[in-house]
A and B are shown apart, each in its own frame.
Chain A
Amino acid sequence: MRTQFLRIAPAILFLLLSFVLSAGSNGAQATPSVKVKILETAPPGKSVSIGLNQNFYVRIQYEAVVPTDIWARPYFQGREVNAASNASTQHSGRGEALGWFAFSQPTKVDEIRIKVDGDNGYGKVALSYPVDITVSANAAPSVGKPAWVDDLIQQDAELQKKAAAHAASSSNPVADSIFLFGFMLFMLLILVLSLAAPVWAFWKWRGGWRIAAAVPVCLMAFVVLRIVMGTSADPTSHNLWPFEILINGAFALVIICVLWLVRKLSLRNTG
């Protein structure tokens, strides 16, 4: 009993250490890496009326430790309102960013949320700002933009230009093409294997193994048939058909590999 405990003691210690370290790193992540503040809006004021397709601009002051995207999104009663908004450029250090949104239908907004990059990209709320915006078709027409809007639009355009130039200079076109070609070749191989392997197994194996091999065959047949029937009814219904085949094909390939392994082991055991 004691020797067994001594054997597993390092594993328990390792698990405890990992837990403590991960808890520590989570605590570090909880510290906000982005601080934002809304300086002003256009149209100004917290209670405003805007027309359809009229932009509502938000001037955001930020302080970001790492390059971060910043968006301003409208909410009403806790739910995100459907609105067009600007694509964010990456911001770092201290400065000002522009956020805007516009509506194609009459609605109301009672909150603006400033969102920054979250764990999965878009979505971490950095600030909630209460407002009372009414969007209607017969609102008074807007009376021009303040100077800060044009300044921030120009700043965004320059940032985008810089980012594009940096991306172009840091990429190696030959290496990129070789990588892309290799990747596509690998995908093609997976595709061919995923279709051929189940058919081969179904053809070669006998008895219950043949029924088991029929499962991935039927899976692939169903996927291909659904794509053929779907596209014959609506040509745009399966625009990503190679990925559909690839995802299901990889799955079928995994099933066949597992079956092949189990069959091999069982045949070896039965002699």
Chain B
Amino acid sequence: MGNLLSALFLVVIGSGVLAYAWHGYKAGEINAGSSGFLRAYRPSREENPFAYRFYLGLYFVAGMAMVVWGLLILTGGAPPLKLR
């Protein structure tokens, strides 16, 4: 049960992050924290290509790592999360 819960949590969150990365890729800009009080930092492909690609890559790698970890838990290839 703990394994299934861990896997489900990681796959769902990871898929969400991947979906957001894909959305950012299509939109050409991506949310990446805040820039000052109540102002979102949104690097775009045109204005800040380096930061945009960096965050896109970060979201993609993080999302993929979570999904793969979740799948590996299901096959017994990785330890489950230490849920309490």
Q: Among B68, B74, B77, which residue has its beta carbon within 8 angstroms of that of A218?
A: B68
Stretch at the interface among A2-10, A53-61, A80-88, A208-216: A208-216
Q: Among B21, B22, B64, B75, which residue has its beta carbon within 8 angstroms of that of A247?
A: B75
A244-B64 contact, Cβ under 8 Å, with A208-B22, A211-B22: no
The answer to whether A222 touches B67 (Cβ under 8 A) is no
Question: Shortest distance in angstroms between A226's beta carbon and chain B's nearest beta carbon?
Answer: 8
A222-B75 contact, Cβ under 8 Å, with A208-B22, A211-B22, A215-B67: no
Using a Cβ–Cβ cut-off of 8 Å, how many residues does chain B contribute to the interface with A?
A: 14
How far, in angstroms, from A222 to B75 measured CA to CA in the complex? 13
Give chain A interface residues in 150-208, CB to chain B under 8 Å.
207-208
How far, in angstroms, from A49 to B19 measured CA to CA in the complex? 68
The interface residues of chain A, by DSSP majority, are classed as helix
Using a Cβ–Cβ cut-off of 8 Å, how many residues does chain A contribute to the interface with B?
A: 14
Residues in B with CB closer than 8 Å to A248 are 72, 75, 77
The answer to whether B22 touches A244 (Cβ under 8 A) is no
Give A residues with C-beta under 8 Å from B.
Answer: 207-208, 211, 214-215, 218-219, 222-223, 244, 247-248, 251, 255
